[in-house]
Structure 1
């Protein structure tokens, strides 16, 4: 959505969500765009429509991601995580670690996969429920880790940078339940994973360490290995590659802009 920028943007930061909605829709209409937004009844969620699709989000600061429409945003995400490089049929589950509002649920449905979303941020998880499960509380509101337990989550929702490692400028911290993917998959009866997507702000190696059994029945893994771990902003590239290569995967595609990598299981 094309919203006011620069100095004009700074003038509207303090207005209410409902005032913001009216201003944004008026601006969009004047510019001839079909994009519209509407407030949810609880004043904490925004429904975005581009004339073809609808999506629920909860951070108005992230509306710029949809300035070219929802389809364009989904295409950008698919390419960022290299999902467009996966050819041929897929079978099993799509595991979305770091789901945010669940945009990749659309990819999962397009490939006929069972969608499992993991998102510790409460409002984002609520949006994910609306976008993928008809509002039913099916988004997993815990973190994935190497083992089951409880850890501190450092919340940074406006930039989707919440982490189990302390980060710069986090806005809140709270305890969350964490589980290994092996533990979750065994309980949920997941026997085959088509795609495991991991965006965990530095916890990617720990999640893979807790997925030893699950990886044996996983076809593809796409991982964000960027410089996001802790206050020192370390990359997880080397440990992620080492774990997956040792687990029988090969790297088949690389996105240097986002520092994501796509891995495919070798013939078993």
Structure 2
């Protein structure tokens, strides 16, 4: 994602539309991102949950936003800090997020030396994590964190490898989704089929309330 500039992307996007070719999921996700960012206020607050090495953070900064970036994986976070640690518009928090504050096991792939593989690091274990490292990380209560900010949130981007389910449920139960300009969420039904029913209930609620500012098909 974000392999080209915004003008290059939009040119290619409209050419594909002219040729009536359906966009692939990654391009569709980029288009959704740009639509939301173009309608969001400059100097707004962008919450990057699962920031990884900071590619989305970088794009949010390009729109003049302030970013709070959460990344519990130490391998990815090292790159994130190298890129943005000196930027006073970025706050990096080395923790995971969830519905409750706790300590939790964090699973990494065995090939974690390849920083690209850190995108699969997760609070939920899959077959990809077999023989990988297990770390203890701190999980913060996301709802309480958002409440404590005491300022409007322009965008929440959520790519947290299965933990999005508990976070979304908590945000909905607390009614905080009304206070966010837009939410971009990558869901992981394929990796965690046992979460599918809970995600379906969230999707049903989004549809019933016609919440056009929340995308669960992002990424």
Does the alignment reach a TM-score above 0.5?
A: yes
Give the match for residue 223 of structure 1.
Answer: 185
Give the one of 87, 91, 95 matched to 1:142: 95
Distance 2:48 2:27 in 1: 12
Question: Whose Rg is larger?
Answer: 1
In the alignment, which residue of structure 2 is the partner of 1:153?
106
Residue in structure 1 matched with residue 55 of structure 2 by the alignment:
103
Structure 1 CA distance for aligned equivalents of residues 195 and 143 of structure 2: 26
Structure 1 residue aligned with 2:203: 241
Q: Residues 101-140 of structure 1 correspond to what in structure 2 (within 5 A)? A: 101-134=53-86, 138-140=91-93
TM-fit CA distance, 1:208: 1.6
Which residue does 2:29 correspond to in 1? 80
Higher RCO, Cα 8 Å, sep 6+: 2
Do the aligned residues in 2 keep the contact of 1:96 with 1:196 (CA within 8 Å)? yes
Superposed CA deviations along residues 74-115 of structure 1, whole A, max 9, x for unmatched, are: 969785352022242426311111111011122211222210
Asked if 1:167 corresponds to 2:126, the answer is yes
TM-score, with length taken from structure 1: 0.58
Q: Is the 8 A contact 1:119 1:141 kept in 2?
A: yes
Higher strand share: 1
Structure 2 gap ranges (5+): 10-24
RMSD: 3.4
User: How many aligned positions are there?
Assistant: 188
Normalised by the size of structure 2, how large is the TM-score? 0.70
Deviations 1:157-193 (A, max 9, x none): 4251111111113111121111122222244x24211
| Higher share in helix | 2
- Counterparts of 2:151 and 2:207 in 1: how far apart (Å)? 21
